[in-house]
Homo-oligomer: A and B are copies of this chain.
Amino acid sequence: MESAQAKNSALQGAGALVPTSFEGLEPLIKETYTNLVEQGVIIPIPDFQPPPVPQDLNAAIKAGKVRAPTHIISTICDDRGEEATYAGVRMSALFEADKGVGDVISLLWFKRSLPSYCTKFIEMCIMLCADHGPCVSGAHNTIVTARAGKDLVSCLVSGLLTIGPRFGGAIDDAARYFKDACDKALTPYDYVEAMKKKGIRVPGIGHRIKSADNKDKRVELLINYGRTYFPSVKYLEYALQVEKYTLTKANNLVLNVDGCIGSLFLDLLVSSAMFTQQEIDEIVEIGYLNGLFVLARTIGLIGHTFDQKRLKQPLYRHPWEDVLYTK
């Protein structure tokens, strides 16, 4: 019953059309088809051209058949080659030339290799602004988030979001106003009094605690560096003249760290002779300088996150007694 013959007989008995040999299969299929067409059971469909299979996009682009518009433009870092480049400079070239973090910032933000006195200054700003204790807005929020048991990025970000007009964000404004006043050759008196009339506080001037008799060491270090290494410090000197005038009004109206970095960065941009006037205006307008504070404080905020986790601090709840519940 397992033989081919037995199976064929059984199929034939059940009404199936069975060829007598393997070679007979094709003619039998053809014959059956022709019969069914004649009987009108099958109605043949005329041949037609099948639609071409679409070509894969990447192959089509490579073959030059399709022009795909790009949706993103980017200029600072090219990762497509053997080795990524920063503004065209290979990473390994940076190490061959003994470059540092300031040089990387120079390439990725300013798209050129600034001279060493500039990149050192950038590093100095980062070092000086890296942290300022646990009580300021940024550190405080990071500490609260760390104590809520969140991951490093969430803790950092929660703190960074406080940086702005009132906390850490005055460097660009200081640069903008000092530049405008100095370029217009306003006397410190005219500049300060004009700001007063407009109801705007002079950015870069004033400190909660520091005063003429208790200078901010960070400012002293920066001034000293600028005067020693910069080809010219026109904007810094202007800012210091403004301070001289404001100190006649109140003892804490000193040039603060924001104002000092802001004016010295103008001097860097101008005295390096590597930027057009239009580029300088763009840098000041877009707000590159606050980027220095943001990057610097990232170090401190990460540090506070680790600190709280190391100390295993529990969930923070602000004390009820410290809140005035009112209407």
Q: Which residues of A contact B (CB under 8 A)?
A: 51-58, 60-61, 64-80, 82-84, 86, 88, 90-92, 94-95, 99-105, 108-109, 123-124, 126-128, 130-137, 139-141, 143-145, 147-158, 160-167, 214, 217-218, 220-221, 282, 286-288, 290-291, 294-295, 298-300, 302-307, 309-311, 313-327
Contact = CB atoms under 8 A, between A and B. Distances in A.
A299 B123 CA distance: 12
A103 B65 CA distance: 48
13 contacts: A51-B64, A57-B57, A60-B65, A73-B326, A80-B320, A82-B214, A83-B217, A90-B217, A91-B128, A92-B220, A137-B147, A150-B165, A155-B161
Contact of A91 (B127, B314, B326): B127
Nearest to A90: B217
Contacts of A218: 83, 91
B67 A318 contact: no
A147 B105 CA distance: 22
Contacts of A75: 307, 311, 325-327
B295 A298 contact: yes
Given A76-B300, A76-B303, 14 more contacts: A57-B66, A60-B65, A72-B140, A73-B324, A74-B133, A76-B307, A80-B320, A92-B217, A101-B127, A108-B299, A108-B302, A148-B163, A149-B167, A152-B294
Contacts of A130: 86, 104, 108
Contacts of A134: 72, 74, 77, 318, 323
A73 B316 CA distance: 11
A300 B167 CA distance: 23
Contacts of A298: 294-295, 298
A300 B77 contact: yes
A166 B73 contact: no
Given A217-B83, A302-B291, A306-B291, A325 B74 contact: yes
A123 B127 CA distance: 13
